[in-house]
């Protein structure tokens, strides 16, 4: 029996409904189902009675979350190092810089680092001066609820949200790295073409419903730019913002979408790509960060700095049913390579390795 103490603070903070919360809850659920693992959840080290390994499922660069002095063998998951790659877009302040020094010190005492992709492994090694041998890549997986739905469910969602027959889907945040002004520029070019005037763009996340008039926050700068472009190009009637959806409805949107687009300038993994794959949705993705690593041969890729190339691929995929079917089948096949059982099993192997060292 392996005794694991897992820090579940992300499930009680702002991370709960974001990628880190998703990772923590799915890992926890799958490890709990393993009879060879005994899990203790904790938010404070003093709560741990006995453990072979302590696992922090996230790493904050600018808040001191990882203890420097460790009573137990410790593993940490670092999903990506985006704030270190693009520091001009993620200002830290003096306190943040001081905490970063403490976090790097604390990282030295960790027995293993888990990350989501080979791209992130290279970045962690470079930007956090970590030994390659201490970094293990474990690819994430989409929730198993993401799948092709029945026509009854799809008709219900289509009627409720008045969805058109053809639409482009984006699911996610609206910060700088997501490159949404680029998406709006490309969509604007597409919508000006008579053959595509019926196509709409759907942006899913509660952040798109925010009233930004009196909010001045660096992370919302690009969302403001998105809103300005929508107004400038008179696209309000062509862009739908349903806000946060429950899981079943989100899956319906994926199923109904003509194409899912991931325009990011960088991703440490890119989970929505796998969610789209599992729903049989064709994917058009940026070729940056780990996105090609995740999507493999099952997506079409574009350079997220080339609007012409992006628009041209949108035209190809939206107008060609046989291309949609081909990519859809490749996506379903690709998605089958990723599962949370696999994530939990590979994580357990890391635990055993650290315990036996």
**Residue 152 neighbours by CB distance under 10 Å:** 7
- The pair of three-digit structure tokens given for residue 346, joined into one six-digit string: 């590979």
Averaged pLDDT score across all residues of the chain: 94
- The conformation of residue 304, written as its DSSP 8-state character, comes to T
Give pLDDT, residue 19. Answer: 79
CATH code for 151-335?
3.40.50.2000
The Cα–Cα gap between 277 and 299 comes to: 9
Residue ranges of the alpha helices (H) in the chain?
Answer: 19-32, 82-85, 93-108, 118-127, 151-160, 180-191, 221-232, 247-256, 271-278, 291-295, 307-319, 321-335, 340-356
Specify the pLDDT at position 216: 67
Q: Where are the alpha helices (DSSP H) in 219-306?
A: 221-232, 247-256, 271-278, 291-295
Whether the predicted model's global pTM rises above the 0.75 cut: yes
In this prediction, residue 257 carries a pLDDT of 98
From the list 147, 61, 85, the residue with the least C-alpha distance to 331 is: 147
Predicted local distance difference test score (pLDDT) of residue 218? 64
Q: Tell me if domain 2-141+339-356 and domain 151-335 are identical in fold.
A: yes
User: Tokens 């036996």 map to which residue?
Assistant: 356
Question: If residue 115 lies in a helix (H) or strand (E), which one and from where to where?
Answer: strand 112-115
Residue for token digits 């058009």? 284
Which residue, 178, 179, 169, 208, is CA-closest to 314?
169
What are the extents of the domains in the chain?
2-141+339-356, 151-335
As a whole number of angstroms, the distance between CA 192 and CA 196 comes to: 7
Domain 2-141+339-356 has CATH 3.40.50.300: no
How many Å apart are CA 141 and CA 81, to the nearest integer? 20
Identify the pLDDT of residue 210: 82
Regions of the chain with pLDDT less than 70: 15-16, 213-219
What tens digit of pLDDT does each residue of 328-341 get? Answer: 999 999 999 999 99
């Amino acid at each position: 029996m392996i005794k694991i103490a897992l820090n579940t603070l992300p499930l009680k903070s702002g991370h709960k409904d974001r990628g880190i919360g998703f990772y923590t809850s799915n890992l926890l659920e799958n490890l709990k189902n393993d009879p060879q693992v005994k899990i203790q959840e904790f938010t404070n080290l003093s709560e741990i009675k006995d453990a072979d390994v302590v696992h922090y499922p996230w790493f904050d660069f600018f808040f001191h979350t990882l203890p420097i002095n460790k009573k137990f063998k410790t593993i940490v998951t670092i999903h990506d190092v985006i704030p270190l790659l693009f520091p001009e877009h993620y200002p830290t302040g003096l306190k943040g810089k001081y905490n970063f020094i403490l976090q790097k010190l604390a990282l030295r005492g960790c027995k293993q680092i888990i990350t989501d992709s080979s791209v992130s492994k290279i970045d962690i090694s470079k930007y956090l001066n970590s030994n390659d041998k201490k970094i293990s890549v474990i690819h994430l997986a989409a929730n198993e609820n993401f799948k092709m739905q029945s026509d009854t469910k799809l008709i219900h969602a289509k009627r409720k949200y008045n969805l058109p027959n053809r639409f482009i889907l984006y699911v996610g945040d609206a910060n700088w790295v997501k490159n949404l002004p680029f998406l709006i520029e490309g969509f604007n070019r597409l919508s000006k073409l008579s053959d595509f005037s019926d196509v709409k763009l759907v942006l899913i996340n509660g952040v798109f419903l925010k009233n930004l008039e009196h909010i001045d926050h660096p992370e919302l700068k690009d969302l403001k730019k998105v809103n300005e472009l929508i107004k400038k190009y008179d696209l309000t009637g062509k862009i739908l913002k349903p806000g946060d959806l429950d899981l079943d409805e989100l899956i319906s949107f994926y199923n109904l979408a003509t194409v899912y687009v991931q325009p990011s300038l960088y991703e440490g993994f890119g989970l929505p790509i796998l969610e789209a794959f599992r729903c049989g949705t064709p994917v058009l993705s940026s070729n940056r960060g780990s996105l090609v690593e995740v999507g493999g041969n099952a997506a079409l890729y574009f350079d997220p700095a080339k609007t012409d190339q992006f628009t041209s691929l949108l035209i190809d995929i939206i107008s060609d049913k046989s291309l949609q079917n081909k990519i859809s089948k490749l996506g379903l096949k690709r998605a089958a390579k990723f599962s949370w059982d696999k994530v939990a099993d590979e994580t357990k192997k890391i635990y055993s390795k650290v315990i036996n060292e």
